Amino acid sequence: MTTKWRSFGASVIGPSHVSARKPNQDAWMRFHHSWGDGIAVSDGLGSKLLSNIGSEMACQSVFSAARRTACDKTDGRNLKLVTDIVAQWRSMTIPLDLNEAAATCLFALRLNDGVVRVGILGDGCAVAVKNDGGLLVLAEDKKKSFSNITIALSTDTQDRHWILSEIPELECRAVVLCTDGVSDDIEDIEGFMHGLVASNQGLSSVTASRRLFKMIEGWPVPKHSDDKTIACLFQDEVEDE
């Protein structure tokens, strides 16, 4: 048996957007290459006309910046990474109005250097599940900000707006990314995260993603209306070929 990094995820449009005939403003992606593995999640700001495009570009920007960072062996890679994500997003989104495409950005990356990088810009949460059972939780402290203002990729994004962390690869069992349509409703974050990872361990990515889609499609919280997205990057044992 060998250890391999795998991923799964799902996104469901919220009832309010279905009623308003609006698209899902969340987006997510995963990637697995020789230079590294990663997942990205983004939530387009609901008040913005082009937020669904902005969220898709956010995920693409994480992929592009991660690939460039994996080839960069100099110091300060984490700061360069988020600076590059913002630059890539702005480049990909032009000529659209950047502020009308504003979107949050969450990522988890393993770039073959012994650590797993986790970052979050805006609301939602990123949770690293450790092999010893502990959790590393990254989330915006809404007590220190105005509740009606969400930090996001826009014309005003600065490096200091990001929340970043690293965890040694050998200590990391999984990283789960959630948009606020999910994270705001989780009361037992420890139980939820451990249960999500354990229940999908050993399943194919397709099967795990289908199960996850059904779970968030039937989200049990009353009056839920927001789009919901979850993505998970995890280590799994696979049989040697």
pTM, rounded to two decimals: 0.93
Exposed / middle / buried, residue 52 (Cβ in 10 Å: 0-12, 13-18, 19+): buried
**What is the model's pLDDT at position 152?**
93
Q: How many CB atoms lie within 10 A of CB 131?
A: 12
Please give the radius of gyration of the chain, using alpha carbons only, rounded to the nearest integer.
17
Q: pLDDT 10s digit of each residue in the chain, 241 long? A: 678 899 999 999 987 777 767 789 999 999 999 999 999 999 998 778 899 999 999 999 999 999 999 987 766 677 789 999 999 999 999 899 999 999 999 999 999 999 999 999 999 999 999 999 999 999 987 665 544 567 899 999 999 999 999 999 999 999 999 999 999 999 999 999 999 999 998 899 999 999 999 999 888 775 567 899 999 999 987 665 5
Whether the ω angle into residue 95 lies within 30 degrees of 0, i.e. cis, is yes
**What is the model's pLDDT at position 79?**
76
Task: Order across the sheet with 228-238: list the strands.
Answer: 2-12, 228-238, 172-178, 125-130, 135-139
Query: Is 34:20 a contact under the CB 8 Å cutoff?
Result: no
Q: How many CB atoms lie within 10 A of CB 24?
A: 17
Q: Is 65 helix (H, G, I), strand (E, B) or coil?
A: helix
**What is the model's pLDDT at position 62?**
98
**What is the model's pLDDT at position 11?**
96
- DSSP conformational letter for 153: B
Query: Is 154:105 a contact under the CB 8 Å cutoff?
Result: no
- Domains located in the chain, CATH noted: 2-238 (3.60.40.10)
**What is the model's pLDDT at position 165?**
96
Q: How far apart (Å, rounded) are the C-alpha atoms in residues 53 and 127?
A: 25
